[in-house]
Structures are given as C-alpha cells and as structure tokens.
Chain A
Amino acid sequence: MAHANTRVPDSTAVQVHGFTRGAFILRSALAVGAVSGIGAVGPFVGRAVAQDSESDGDAEILNFALSLEYLEADFYRQALELDLSAESAALARRLGAHERDHIAALIDVIDTVGGTPTKEPTFSFPINDEASFLELAQTLEETGVSAYNGAALSIESPEVLAAAGQIVQIEARHAADIAAARAQPPAPKAFDESLEMAPVLEAVQPFIKS
C-alpha cells in the first residue's frame, strides 16, 4: 500500500522475465509511462499536447484507439480457442463482446468526424494456457487504460472526449476484473498512468502479423 509521499511507480516492479519481446516492451512502456501522480502530470501533459497540432487530430486519436480495440477484441477471440476454465472463458467472452462494441462505436465516431477508419490487422499473441492468457490480458487492458487516459488529453471535440471517457471506464473495469481473476490487487495505485501514443504503438507492434 503506497503512501502518498513515497509513491513509487509500481510498474517498474512489474516482472520482466519476458516470455515474449512484445509483452516485455509493453511492460517497459508501462514502466516508462508510470509517471502519474501530482508532480508528474504536468510534464506529461506538455508532451501530449505538443503532439496535437493538426485539426484532424481527433480522427488520428480515434484510429489509434480503434487499433487497440482491434487488438483486444482479437486477443479475446484467440483466447477462447484455448483450454480455459469456465470462469476465464466467460471473462474472455464478456470482455471480447465489449471490445467489439467499442470497435463499432469508434468506426461510427471516426466516420462522424470525417476520418477514415483504419483496417483491422491480423494479430498473433503468445498465449497458450489460462495463466499466459490472464497475464497478457492484464497487460493489454492496463495499456488500454493508460493509452486512453493519455490520448484523451489531446482530443479537441467534447463529444469525442465524452465517447473516449465512456470507453476508458470500461477498460478500467476490465483491468480490475482480470486482476481479481489473477488474485492481484484491482486498484494498486490511487492514480492511473497515462501513456503517449508512440510508445503504445511501438509496444503492440510485435503482436501485429500484417
């Protein structure tokens, strides 16, 4: 239980035994991004805002979110091909259904703001059993929360920001659900981290086949 004055980014302590490069990079990105909290919000905001110079910024952010939702939805689809417990299978089905709804909604919103929805890539995930599924699920959902929380700061349109908020709250609930399934603390920190787009995209790259 971190004390306010000695708040240490927990992600730096995340295991890095690295069963794949992708998962390792994701963890590293989370660790680097683990700068939330009172003192650290300012510098991050400066960088996040600096990213946002084009007027079509919202479409770009939405496509970034869409990429992550494609990734998560396909991850849960592939997980359901594994031999999972009934509880974990139900979790994968429920969370996967939410992510597919997020995809549909994001495509609508991208159309609304005059953007072109990015195409769905094909993915490959290093999961082969329940434990590796839950472990990577945790990493992906934590990444999702941090990615939305970071990207939201650059969103121009209040409507798009509202939509992103409606989605990130669900990603956070997912992260807590998975933590519970892994007997991990569901809310180990008082403040969720923010991540910029670039490190997130770099981190998920190893999962993208084409």
Chain B
Amino acid sequence: MHEQVTETSTRPPVGAMEELGRDPASRKRFLRMVGGAGAACVFATFLAACNGGSDDEDQSGAEGESSAGPAASPAGGVAATKEPQPDPKAGTTDLEILGYALAVEQLENAFYADVLDSGLFRGADLNMIEQFAENEREHLELLEATVEKLGGEVLAAPKTKFPLTSPANALRLAAELENGGAAAYLGQANRIRSKEVLAAALSIHSVEARHAATLNSLAGLPPEPQGAFAVPASMEQVLTSVQRFIVT
C-alpha cells in the first residue's frame, strides 16, 4: 500500500480531488465515506488514480468533465482496444476496493431503511422495495465478512440524509443510487486481483443492475439508459455524486 503514497506527490491534485485534498473537512468526510479497511490508503490510491498514477484514467477524462466513465470508449462501444493499456490494477488493493464497495452498500442500506421508515410505499411497490433492501443487506453482510477475512476493519456507516418527499421522488433517488451502484461495481471489476473477490463483486453487480433497470422503469426512465453497453464509474465519480447525502 505504501508505494502508492509516494506516487501521489508527483503532481498536484485537480478538480474534485483538489478540493478533497485541500479541504480538511471534505477529506474527513471522504475518509468516513470510504469507511472500510485502510481508509487513508484508499485516499492515497484515489489521488494516485486521479493524478497520473494510471494513464487510462487520464485518457478518458478523469481529469476533465467527461460524462463517460474511465473505461468507456467514445462511441458507446466496449472498452477493449488494440493498444497496450496500463494495468488498471496498478495502485490499488482488493481490500481498498472492498472498503469502497462496502461504503456504497452502507449508503444503499441507509437509503432503503429510510424509505421503509417513510411509509411512502404500499402494495407491490413496497414488496419490491423490501426485496431490494433485503438484497442490499445481504450484500453488506458478504462485504463485511470478506473485509474481515482479508484482515481489514469494517468502520461504522456514515451518517446520511436522503430527501424523501414523495414516492416519485424516492423512486428517482432509488434509481439514481442503484444505477450508481451498478456503475461503481463495473468500474472496479477489472481492478480486482482475487478471483474470489471478483466472483463476489460480479454476483452483486448484476443484481444492482436488476434493481436499477426495475427502478428506472418505475421512475419513467429507460431501463438501459446507456444503451447496449453499461458505462462504468470511477471511485471519484461515485463518491462525488453521493456526497450530498452524507451528513457531517
């Protein structure tokens, strides 16, 4: 883990990361967000990925405002190219990725708990939400167990607040979180080293995708908003997008 720390000092942070790096409050918030094992190392890795620690991130707009995720190809196709690519695994460990996934699942669990408390849903919609909440609870359990198995520490979930004002609003928010969750897992899949961790991540990824498609439909959005190829999201994209739900 320590070699990544030295890489981070080669270039100054940019964009959202610059803010996180400079502002102690947002850095603290982020560290709470990533929750899982070795939070400080995750942060260092995160900076490394943003600052040239990996070229593929640079090419595909991690520095800019590209709407596509790091591994997305320009024409909405798939990511594979003929040119030799830098190793996407460089500068990260499975434990860090698991800590990140755990933070995503903690957020989703907190969200569904609030939705179920809100009393906004009944009947078939309520049954569906209960099922999805149960799925997310099992994801959380698996990730916690895996983090502990790998010698990491499971930190408490961050404090969250979700604007649940109406069923329609809650469905849109649920869709946003589940699409984000699916994109988050997709963004990490080819950075995972252990086959066992990869198998777990993939078995969760496609369930997040099922949730996302269902919620999109209920929220009046296309179930496959990105067409035939899902677009991955990087850690920084995901963590930036969920920051508004984190209470400090």
Contacts and interface: CB of A to CB of B under 8 A. Distances in A.
Q: Which secondary structure dominates chain B's binding surface?
A: helix
A94 B217 CA distance: 14
Interface string A161-205: 111011111111111110110000111111111100000000000
B137 A161 contact: no
B228 to A, nearest CB: 4
Interface stretch (B1-9, B41-49, B74-82, B235-243): B74-82
Interface residues of A, number: 59
A170 B183 CA distance: 11
Interface residues of B, number: 56
B198 to A, nearest CB: 6
A86 interface: no
B195 A98 contact: no
Q: Which secondary structure dominates chain A's binding surface?
A: helix
B228 A98 contact: yes
Given A36-B203, A41-B199, A113-B80, A187 B132 contact: yes
B78 A166 contact: yes
Contacts of B153: none
B182 interface: yes
A147 to B, nearest CB: 11
21 contacts: A1-B130, A42-B196, A45-B196, A49-B195, A109-B78, A152-B189, A153-B199, A159-B190, A162-B189, A165-B189, A165-B232, A166-B186, A170-B228, A172-B205, A173-B210, A174-B224, A176-B223, A180-B214, A186-B214, A189-B135, A190-B134
Interface of A: 1-2, 4, 7, 36, 38, 41-42, 44-45, 48-49, 94, 97-99, 101-102, 105, 108-109, 112-113, 145, 149, 152-153, 157-163, 165-177, 179-180, 185-194
